[in-house]
Structure 1
Amino acid sequence: MLHLRLIVPSDRTDQVVGVIEKTVGTTHLVVVPGACRDPAGDLVLCDVAREAGDGLIAELRALGLDRSGAITVEEIGLSLSARAEQAEKDAPGEGADAVLWEQLQDATHEESTLSVTYVAFLTLATMIAACGVVLDNAILVVGAMAVGPEFGPLAGICTALVRRRPRLAMRSLTALVVGFAAAMALTVLFSLLMDATGLFTDGMLHGERPNTGFVYAPDWFSFVVGLLAGAAGTLSLTSAKSGALVGVAISVTTVPAAANAAVALAYGDLGQTRGSAEQLLLNLLAIVLAGTLTLLAQKSFWGWQRRRTRRAGT
């Protein structure tokens, strides 16, 4: 269930309450006249089943409530109420499958913003992966993949393509390109420093690497895994299964490929640099393709669900 807290201009309260009451899957409606001061208006509270939330939020925005008042949405961890249970039963579909587009866009906006913290995380992940590929240590590589924050901008690009938000697309693309460029450049310097101290050697990079040699040898399996991971990651963002995102992060070869490209460039190995760059681009392309197709499929499915519900209601 979702909890909505609305600040409503007094002359629009009846209209807003009417929208809430006609929405299947709402309950616990509370109206407190004159409770709000900034902006001035009435306080309206209600709970809504997650699967009905996106439609309700869209109607409230269509009334201009996001401009004249405020719409705040919170996840309800626990609700002991027979009316809430009935509201969830009445709402079409399953809550875990529902997509809250406004929430998704807001989340990807934050995750895809180029910031010092984002670049720091991506750089540290790339440096950890650099140690992993040189030492042929799969544990370090997996750890680096979990630390990397690159799925945020990738999800932002997918969302922007589906929602037709060019600003979000440009912001996400900038964060992705600049972030990886900065991380790889700093990892080249890190590799030269490690070489100067004797912790990295040319022989370690070019020796037998059965655990990490795949990062500079792209093939069709890389693309297939990228597609699967992109779909799984998108589903984890749009549903209640957010814990799956960690598994997605450690299943794609983005950060390790960037790390290997940086280390190879530091040693002048253009062959490994090129192979790693191809691996990186292949995974990024697969994730964006799968993520976009997944969002389009979800959008079509929920559109069909709403049309079916309206026909059943008439």
Structure 2
Amino acid sequence: MRLVQVLVPDGNRESVIAALDEQGIDYAVFEETGRGEFEAMVQFPVPPTGVEPVLENLRSAGISESAYTIVLPTETVVSERIESLQALYPGNRVSREVLKANAQSLAPARSTYFAFIVLSTIIATGGLLLDSAATIIGAMVVAPLMGPAITASAGSVLADRELATRGITLQVVGLMLAIAVAAALGALLRGTVIVPPGTDIRTIPQVAERTSPDFLSLFIAFGSGIAGAISVSRGSGSTLVGVAIAVALIPPAATAGLGIAWGFPEVAASATVLVLVNLLSINLSALAIFWLSGYRPELTDQRASVRTAVLRRGAVLVIALVVLSVVLGLVTFASYQTTTFEHRATAETERFFDESSLSEYELESVAVAYDSQDIVLENDPTVTVIVGRSNATAVRPNLADRLDRHLEETTGENVGVRVGFVVAQESEPIPVTTESRWHSPLA
């Protein structure tokens, strides 16, 4: 429930009370003596979804859009008319005024916002270099990226240009700052005792995860944006939802910065694509949820222009996502190809060494080097095989060539094969007797 307090302008007291009586709302009226242009203050309880339509009716009764209005959350209301009001206004969607206030509170002051962006990026960069998922999640708790995303979408549907511009600016500048901080930190740590020389960030699993964006990334970003919009529009807890939004943005931004620091343009480019896809998806989903939830500007004459602006902005976001989705589609297809080849090459290698003519060899391991970048650069896959043999077993000089031909015939790919041999030896067990067990070298 919400408790609404409104100052009534001179000459409108009767019409305001009549509007409340017409809707069956309990109210209390207090004389106003503080400001000359108001004659009374009216106070009444109403369900969350009823705040917006009730205030619109009061504006028709003479209360202006800029009138002094307070909306307070209440835990308990005892009234004979509450049940009928709850039936009239079901659901728990917050009012337009509350949404705007929530959006403004979610976007902190710039100094605070940028400070948290820097701190979360430092933590996330450290988590990437340490390959620590727990550290990266901790960084997401600090990141304040949910506020600007919600602010931009709420400002768009409510015709608040200042709010929308602030949200877009904070998002863009914040992510650019995150990339710059990660690049500076990576350049500072590279080659030190903290990050040993020769470290290849492309081999770190947490980094590699952000350099091969696919369509699953798109679904994650859409889910995060929808969850954020619903949590704000329903007045539920949004802190943990903000973590989900930050997960979709800060780690890939930090990865792009590390790619710049290490001089790997492919890492920086692929991570930047992931940042852009996630950013656009979150904004598009939040904008759609707010619009479909029925949020519109206060002034009726603004609604047509806002509808056009929302549709235009949505179209721009969709077109940008479609263009970037081409990259996601290529990466997804390439990932499918490499995974399929890896499984097939491994199975065929095991099958090759299962032949009776090669019974003197024991297959120890199979490693396939083939990823999305190899497909783009048209590099052939490489299969590295480790084979065990006894001392008495001679090495066949054409074993690698035979395996190469077998894999090319079965997979249809040009393959480079490397076979390593391990000579296996086992020690003879030494029998333990009672005498030898208790024999002392000092005796």
Q: TM-score, normalised by structure 1?
A: 0.83
1:307 aligns with none
Deviation track 1:256-302 (CA, whole Å, cap 9, x = no partner) reads: 111111122122221111111111111111111111221222118xx
8 A contact 2:47–2:89 mirrored in 1: no
Counterpart AA for 1:128: I
Bigger mean CA deviation after superposition, 255-264 or 164-173: 164-173
**Letter in structure 1 aligned against 2:72:** E
Taking structure 1 as reference, are residues 198 and 242 closer, same or farther at Cα in structure 2, changes over 3 Å only? same
Q: Does 1:54 align with 2:59?
A: no
Equivalent residue for 1:134?
Answer: 129
Q: How does 1:17-166 map to 2 (within 5 A)?
A: 17-23=17-23, 26-27=25-26, 29-37=27-35, 40-61=38-59, 63-67=62-66, 69-76=67-74, 78-83=75-80, 85-94=82-91, 96=92, 98-112=93-107, 115-166=110-161
Which residue does the alignment assign to 1:7?
7
SS in 2 for 1:128: helix
Q: CA deviation at 1:230?
A: 1.1
Identity %: 23
The change in CA–CA distance for 1:211 and 1:178 in structure 2 (over 3 A counts) is closer
> Relative to structure 1, is the Cα distance of residues 203 and 197 closer, same or farther in structure 2, using a 3 angstrom cutoff?
closer
Q: Secondary structure at the match of 2:32?
A: strand
> Structure 1: 5+ residue runs without aligned partners?
301-314
| Cα distance in 1, alignment partners of residues 276 and 197 from structure 2 | 25
Deviations 1:215-272 (A, max 9, x none): 22211000011111111111000003224x4145236420111111112212222111
**Matched pairs, number:** 293
**What are structure 2's unaligned runs of at least 5 residues?**
296-443
Contact kept? 1:113, 1:175, Cα under 8 Å:
no
Deviates more, 1:106-115 or 1:141-150: 106-115
Q: Supply the AA of the counterpart residue of 2:221.
A: G
Residue 271 of structure 2 aligns with which residue?
A: 276
Q: CA deviation at 1:82?
A: 4.1
Shift of 1:9: 2.3
Distance 1:46-1:131 versus aligned 2 partners, 3 A rule:
same
In structure 2, do the counterparts of structure 1 residues 5 and 135 end up closer, same or farther at CA, with 3 Å as the change threshold? same
SS, match of residue 289 in structure 2? helix
Contact 1:234/1:291 (8 A) holds in 2:
yes
The structure whose residues are more often helix, as a share, is: 1
1:7 counterpart SS class: strand
Aligned residue identity for 1:56? V
CA contact (8 A) 2:9 2:63 kept: no
How many Å separate the matches in 2 of 1:135 and 1:204? Answer: 11
Question: Matched residues in 2 for 1:36 and 1:205: separation?
Answer: 70
Q: Which has the higher contact order (CA 8 A, sep 6+)?
A: 1
Q: Who is 2:291 aligned against?
A: 296
- Structure possessing the higher radius of gyration over alpha carbons: 2
Residues in 1 aligned to 2:121 and 2:70: alpha-carbon distance in whole angstroms: 37
Change (3 A) 1:38 1:195: farther
How far, CA to CA, are the matches of 1:203 and 1:13 in structure 2? Answer: 78
Cα separation, 2, equivalents of 1:156 and 1:203: 43
Counterparts of 1:135-284 in structure 2, within 5 Å, are: 135-195=130-190, 197-201=192-196, 203-204=198-199, 206=201, 208-243=203-238, 245-247=239-241, 249-250=243-244, 252-284=247-279
Q: Secondary structure at the match of 1:299?
A: coil
State the 1:204 CA deviation.
4.5
Superposition TM-score, scaled by structure 2 size: 0.60
CA 1:90–1:209: 2 relative to 1, 3 Å: same
**Structure 2: how far apart are the matches of 1:279 and 1:206?**
17
Maintained 8 Å contact 1:162/1:296: yes
Q: 1:3, CA displacement in angstroms? A: 0.7
Distance 1:164 1:227 in 2: 23
**Structure 1 residues 226, 46: CA separation in 2 closer, same or farther (over 3 Å shift)?**
same
Alpha-carbon distance in structure 1 between the residues aligned to 2:3 and 2:192: 56
